Amino acid sequence: MSFEWTYNQANVIMFIIPSSATGEELSGLGTTFTVEIAKAGGAFVAAEGAKAELGNGWYRYTNVVAEADTLGQVALKITGTGAAQQNLTGMVRNPAVGISSTSYSIFPISSDVLARLRKMIGEPTEATYTDDDLGLRLAQEPVKDLAGTTSFYLDELQLPPVLRLNTNWLPTYDLNRVAAEIWLEKAAACPSDQHDFSTDGSSFSRSQIYDHYMQNYRTFNARRKARSRLILRSPGLYEPVEVGAIIVSS
């Protein structure tokens, strides 16, 4: 039996426990059965969630949130008096596309990446742009890693298809696109009354600030990654459409 859990949430899984003697559904264990969990290829440890018997040999387990805090494969081993061992395997996925509430993105953004971006935008401190702000911007610009792996993939086993997190993706972001957007913001924030002027034999070129910002914008904007969009038909490819009394596939 396979199952799927949502990342960083309590999830419910229902299963049958068979008798080790007859192979038939085993009733009467209540909550005395044992559940062990292994996350992402690790060792089995005692599970801490809530157990319940549903009747007719069916049982239920609800994980604690900490048991779904690791993306990837998860396994449950279920044993009990007079019961045949049940081995259940599943996946912990984060179905949300975008930013989670626990970090800038589903994958944390390293301090090295933030430091590199700060050099690109000329903002060494958090006075104007905080790490949280920059992290949020980067999280919205994931790109393929060096192996060509994307951050999300289309799970076509689901009907309709679902966009899912790719746990094999090495977090990689389009720093040039983010830097370009920030330089454009800086240029837009330049006061409109900044004019060049001369006085007492000296010349002041305030417009050079705007020109400098726009030059940096053009430089980084030219280096940004090309974007592609995943377009799904609506109605979906697998959804039937009723035409009069006839059902056809779209």
- Summarize pLDDT for 111-134 with one digit per residue, the tens: 899 999 999 999 999 999 998 889
- Does position 216 have pLDDT exceeding 70, yes or no? yes
The predicted structure's pLDDT at residue 243: 45
Q: How far apart are CA 173 and CA 171, in angstroms?
A: 7
β-pair partners for 25? 18
4 or 94: which leads in pLDDT:
4
Q: Which residue is associated with the tokens 């419910």?
A: 12
Which residues contact residue 76 at a Cβ distance below 8 angstroms, ignoring those fewer than 6 apart?
13, 35, 36, 37, 47, 61, 86, 87, 88, 89, 90
Q: Which residue is associated with the tokens 């959804």?
A: 239
Start-to-end C-alpha separation, the chain: 32
- Does position 160 have pLDDT exceeding 90, yes or no? no
Q: How far apart are CA 33 and CA 200, in angstroms?
A: 90
Calculate the average pLDDT of the chain: 82
What domains can be seen in the chain, in order of their start residue?
2-92 (2.60.40.10), 111-222 (no CATH)
pLDDT more than 70, % of the chain:
77
Q: How confident is the model at residue 245 (pLDDT cuts 50, 70, 90)?
A: very low
The predicted structure's pLDDT at residue 248: 41
pLDDT per position as a tens digit, 37-72? 999 888 999 999 999 999 999 999 999 999 998 888
8 Å CB contact between 150 and 144: yes
The predicted structure's pLDDT at residue 157: 74
- Does position 97 have pLDDT exceeding 50, yes or no? no
The predicted structure's pLDDT at residue 195: 58
pLDDT per position as a tens digit, 70-83? 888 899 999 999 99
Q: Tokens representing 60? A: 């239920």
The phi and psi torsions of 222 (rounded to 5 degrees) equal -70, -20
The phi and psi torsions of 3 (rounded to 5 degrees) equal -150, 170
